[in-house]
Amino acid sequence: MKKLTLERIIVVAVGIGLFALDWAAKFTAERTLVLGADPIPAPIPLISWYLSYNRGYHYIFGQMGPYRWIAGASLVLAAGMVVYLIHWAGQIDRTSPVRKLVLAMATLLVGALSNPAEILLRGHATDFFRVAGFPWTANLCDQYVNLIVYVLTPILLFMLLKGWDKPRPSSEANPTPPVPLDTGGH
């Protein structure tokens, strides 16, 4: 199997694992937390457990009109972005750190398909924790998106500006000419 094909399989498989992890966490939260009850402190600093259902598309946007249509469109758009990122990674030099970053973004984006899929299937996204200082609850899928948008994208832009997606000259590409041996005039 070609290395490129194996990379694509790994990206999708790990992404599906992240998707499943989000759904498993949501399932566990629904079985162990009471909807709308007071937040429960978590063992993680600044986090509390709190079960809620986001029946709109996103708390920031509030109750938007046809949120299932929006979720469907975002599912298609994000899936297209995964395909694009995987294809783009295949065009980047194998030694470039940009390639690994693009593949990581594609992997997280596969996992981030969880919320739009849940909205389409269940009519809401299940949120189960709060971070101190933020007024809304979240889930793992939200964190995949945050990681892509606020961490990986700025790093990717910096790397692209620095030209790190280009092949690096290797010592073999510009070999040092051999030094002639001194034969002592013989």
What does the pLDDT profile of the chain (186 residues) look like in tens digits? 677 789 999 999 999 999 999 999 999 999 999 998 999 999 999 999 999 998 765 555 555 566 778 888 889 999 999 999 999 999 998 889 999 999 999 999 999 999 999 988 998 899 999 999 988 899 999 999 999 999 999 999 999 999 988 876 665 555 555 566 666 665
- Is 77 inside any structural domain? yes
As to burial, measured by CB atoms within 10 angstroms (0-12 exposed, 13-18 middle, 19+ buried), residue 47 is middle
Q: How far is CA 141 from CA 89, 109, 150, in A?
A: 23, 9, 14
| Nearest by Cα to 28 from 146, 140, 143, 147 | 140
**62: CB partners within 8 A, 6+ apart:** 56
For residues 37 and 67, what is the distance between their CA atoms, to the nearest angstrom? Answer: 26
- Domain containing residue 73: 3-161
Other Cβ atoms less than 10 A from the Cβ of 17: the count is 13
- Is 68 inside any structural domain? yes
Other Cβ atoms less than 10 A from the Cβ of 159: the count is 16
Q: How many domains does the chain have?
A: 1
- Is 104 inside any structural domain? yes
- Is 123 inside any structural domain? yes
- Is 8 inside any structural domain? yes
- Is 51 inside any structural domain? yes
Q: What is the pLDDT of residue 91?
A: 93
- Is 98 inside any structural domain? yes
Q: What is the pLDDT of residue 149?
A: 95
Q: What is the pLDDT of residue 170?
A: 64
For residues 49 and 70, what is the distance between their CA atoms, to the nearest angstrom? Answer: 28
Q: What is the pLDDT of residue 166?
A: 83
Q: How does strand 125-131 pair with strand 40-41? A: unpaired
DSSP annotation of 167: P
> Hey, is 137 helix, strand or coil?
strand
- Is 135 inside any structural domain? yes
Q: What is the pLDDT of residue 54?
A: 84
